[in-house]
Amino acid sequence: MIERRAEGLAIEEEKRVTLARRVDEVQPCQAHYVDGDAVVGVGEYQVVHAPEKLVCLGLGSCVGIAIFDISSQIGGLIHAMLPKYEEGRDKTKASKYADSAVMLMVDELVEMGARKPLLRAKIAGGAQMFSFISSDTLNIGQRNSVVAKETLKKENIPLLAEDVGGTKGRTIFFNSVDGSIRIQKNGEVSQI
């Protein structure tokens, strides 16, 4: 059973410290599937019980963040579009930002039965898709990856593996049974 809560999130701006803990409205999203795997859309996240599988299609500068508890076989996948909620213009959809999406999904994983001390993470994506961009502030891919790692560290969730950066987009497939991520990049397949 897939639970998907990513759109329509209203967050109290003045309380950044408890940003992702203050969700006023949650609306379910329409699930889409590719070869039996549920697609996590841009700026969304999904949480599932094993044996469900999730996919993020066409990660360019976006970053895919998988967080899971193998013992309870509960996990989720984020398709984060931008690094920080506080820097964003759209305050109605916290799931599109790496920092707030991680906090939201961790809370939901725990609500579903995952044990926070057993949560682990893997990330992929964050490519520099346009070689003509040299400014650090415009390198969204790198910033997405950095903020994802910083937020996982703040949440005390170990990062087990990553495949980030470069100039090529990726599609990632998350397996909630074992926490593995299969990565398709530039015609090649790898796993972390």
Lookup result for tokens 């070689």: 131
If 0-12 CB within 10 Å is exposed, 13-18 middle and 19+ buried, where does residue 143 land?
buried
Distance from first CA to last CA of the chain, Å, rounded? 25
Set 11, 19, 40, 62: catalytic member: 62
Instruction: Tell me, yes or no, if 62 is annotated catalytic.
Output: yes
Sheet of 53-59: strand order equals 33-34, 37-39, 53-59, 170-175, 181-185, 188-191
Peptide bond into 51 cis (omega under 30): yes
Catalytic residues, by residue number, are 62
